[in-house]
Amino acid sequence: MKKVRFIAGLIALLTLGFAERAKADSITIAGVNFSANVASSLVTLTVTCTNASCANYAIGSISLKGFTFSGTATNFLEPVGYLVQNGGQNNGGSTNCNGTQLQSAVCWNANGAFVPLAGGLTFEASIANGTVTNLLHVQTVIFADSTGGKRVSGVSNDLTGGTIPTPEPGSLMFLGLGLLGVPFLRRKK
């Protein structure tokens, strides 16, 4: 029984020891929270309204940089009307991804539209060999509504609200599977 416990403990330590870490950061501008997470195979950017004043706000294209990856970013999950593209966008551009900074930025192109924040927007792109190289940086423009007539704020900011090392989902899965086996380690009487 001691041997089984030792092996289970060793597997748990190895799972956590060799687990990759993701970098998660956030910042709030004009009542809109931008939160990003970069892991080796997935980039996630979440945009949420944090108070009643931004309930009708909308954004156009949005990009995230501050990391490198190999290959091309591909669609994983984005709101209707957006398409992921490799590279960034011009500062202050409202609806244009321009493909600069290939393999060091991902841009979700709204194709000229302004998409309401409503309950929040989540953008995800599949990447390969993602590595955070700098502070994560978000670029977009916040508009008062989906007509794009009134600009509330241009966003070109580092996400410096706090860095949280976040275990990769695979690591958490292995840890969870290991914990499921704990009841079977009891001694039989």
Confidence bin at 1 (pLDDT 50/70/90): low
Confidence at residue 162, expressed as pLDDT on a 0 to 100 scale: 47
**Of residues 88, 108, 113, the one with CA closest to residue 98:** 88
Q: From residue 56, give the alpha-carbon distance in Å to each of 2, 103, 143, 168.
A: 60, 33, 9, 34
Q: From residue 82, give the alpha-carbon distance in Å to each of 33, 64, 116, 145.
A: 19, 14, 12, 17
The residue-averaged pLDDT of 50-76 equals 89
Confidence at residue 121, expressed as pLDDT on a 0 to 100 scale: 92
Fold type of domain 26-167: Immunoglobulin-like (2.60.40)
Confidence bin at 103 (pLDDT 50/70/90): confident
Confidence bin at 81 (pLDDT 50/70/90): confident
Cβ-contact 181, 5 below 8 angstroms: no
Q: Which percentage of the chain shows pLDDT scores above 90?
A: 24
Cβ-contact 159, 25 below 8 angstroms: yes
CA distance 155 to 159: 11
Task: Specify the 3-state DSSP secondary structure of 2.
Answer: helix
CA distance 25 to 45: 10
| Chain mean pLDDT for the chain | 79
Confidence bin at 187 (pLDDT 50/70/90): low
CA distance 8 to 11: 5
Confidence at residue 164, expressed as pLDDT on a 0 to 100 scale: 44
Q: From residue 9, give the alpha-carbon distance in Å to each of 168, 173, 181, 182, 188.
A: 20, 16, 11, 10, 19
Q: Which two tokens stand for residue 159?
A: 């996400």
**Of residues 67, 107, 68, 69, the one with CA closest to residue 86:** 107
Q: From residue 16, give the alpha-carbon distance in Å to each of 2, 87, 171.
A: 21, 33, 7
